[in-house]
Amino acid sequence: MKSKKNHSLKFKVKDMDIATGGTLVAILNTKDAHKLDLHSGDRILLKTDGREQVCILDISESQKAVPEGKIGLFEEVLKKLNVKKDSAVQLKFTGKPESVKHIRSKLYGKRLSYTELLHIIDDITNDRLTDIEKTYFVAAGFVNGWNNEEVVDMTRAMVKTGYKLKFSGITLDKHCIGGVPGNRTTMIVIPIVAAAGFTIPKTSSRAITSPAGTADTMECLARVELPEKKIKQIVKKAKSCIVHGGSMNLAPADDKIIDVEHPLSIDAEGQLLASVMAKKFSVSANHVLIDIPMGKQVKAKNWKQAKHFKKMFMLIGKKLGMNVKVVITDGSQPIGNGIGPFLEAMDVMQVLKDDVLAPQDLKHKALIMAGALLEMTGKYRKGKGLKVAHEILESGKALKKMNEIIELQGKQKKVKIGYYQHIVKSTKIGRVKEIDNEIISKIARIAGAPQDKGSGLYINKKIHHPIKKGEVLYTIFAENKFKLGLAKEFAKKNHGYLIL
């Protein structure tokens, strides 16, 4: 039998009319695969008119799905090769990417070099690895950990394989490692800092396991999916933007790694650190503020873990030539009143309007963050930043700046709060001892957040608040009756409050 390496045949394209969501897949009929001694999971190289693409092979038992002499291509492959139905493509067998060997080495506990990590990250970025191979990469890092050099090298590899937005001079950025519902400080900090005259482009994420990400919340007010040219124009005019980073191809391997981590419910520390810093480095940020919430249900569960995260972020920042400041904050309960995109956007706008009814915890935290960023520029002495942040907010300059950003990005049609509502009341008298962030997030998500922008919770009671029997803890909002029913049933079993 001939060696696989010598096989080179032409096949006619069959458009499978299916997208995988990333992985590059081609399908051969079982008879053709048998003749070529190819098996499911093998890599094949497809060539046509100056373009070529490595794909992962699947086998079809059915003549109807993929007949002999044809090759079924998924949407991603059709786009990469720029081919249509019945186009001719040349097929060659090719071995597994070198990065698979490096993943195997990491599984055995070996320290990976920059070159090895670059191979892996490049193959993840360009969809050359199967979901199984990516899962093993994530699992290897989770089990064996990453040392400081590997984390820095992984960060550099993520930046190199993505796009970089370049801004000159002082460029600021902030990031929160997450876990706290309603913690929408970014949308208040950005207009304050920009109103002070500093460049602060914000590329934000969408929610993965939370009821809203910054991009989901901002999308209630303005467009967030914008091309690079438009973003640069906005930043030039307004000194800032609040857009979705996923559409920008900034450190794209990060999103593909998150897709693998999500179903496993794991978040390997090294990959978390690398992904955060890569995204900051990709927008030319030279002064970065990191918010590390500490509490039972967040990533930093105690002072020891929080200090460790702080040390690592500062170390990576130093190695990349970035000025990084880390603040450890209270992650024991939700921040603000609204949980869910539209409800959180309402909180943000109330704070920016300096409304007396605005959530004071959200306002206080955002001002501290904005003050810290202003001081990082070196233009303000310690303690002065907070005072300036207060002045900018209270004068209306921050609101004016936010409205400018919204107009430049493109105002959205008004989102409405969920029509269907259910009030959750306390069944006892006492004081709020604890609030379960995970349960609160879960109820908001079951109600429809973040996909249904008007769904979520409005919280009335926080930790230490005294409470009477029958008083309102929170209200659930949903855009349809069915989802409200599901959220209501879940909240009956566990409303997320410990009252003593």
The rounded distance, in Å, linking the Cα atoms of 350 and 19 is: 42
Q: Give 3-state DSSP helix, strand, coil % of the chain, rounded to 5.
A: 45, 20, 35
Identity of the residue numbered 258: I
Per-residue tokens: 62: 């059915």
CA 430 to chain centre: 38
Considering the candidates 127, 216, 254, 267, report the single residue annotated as catalytic: 267
Residue 29 region by backbone torsions, left for phi larger than 0, else alpha for psi between -120 and 50, else beta:
beta
In contact, 257 and 291? CB cutoff 8 Å: no
CB contact at 8 A, 495 and 424: yes
For 23, half-sphere exposure in the C-beta direction (CA atoms, 13 angstrom radius) is 18
Longest dimension (CA), the chain: 82
CA 283 to chain centroid, in Å, comes to 15
Any idea how long the chain is?
500
Residue 122 appears among annotated catalytic residues: no
Distances (CA, A) of 88 to 59, 68, 76, 92: 19, 14, 17, 13
Cα distance between residue 303 and residue 204, in whole Å:
27
Asked if 389 contacts 371 with a C-beta cutoff of 8 angstroms, the reply is: yes
For Cα atoms 202, 204, 206, give the angle at the middle one, nearest 5 degrees. 165
Name 27's bridge partners: 58, 72
3-state secondary structure of 455: coil
At residue 164, φ and ψ (nearest 5 deg) are -125, 125
Question: In angstroms, what CA-CA distances link 40 with 27, 28, 59?
Answer: 9, 9, 6
Active site (catalytic) residues: 267
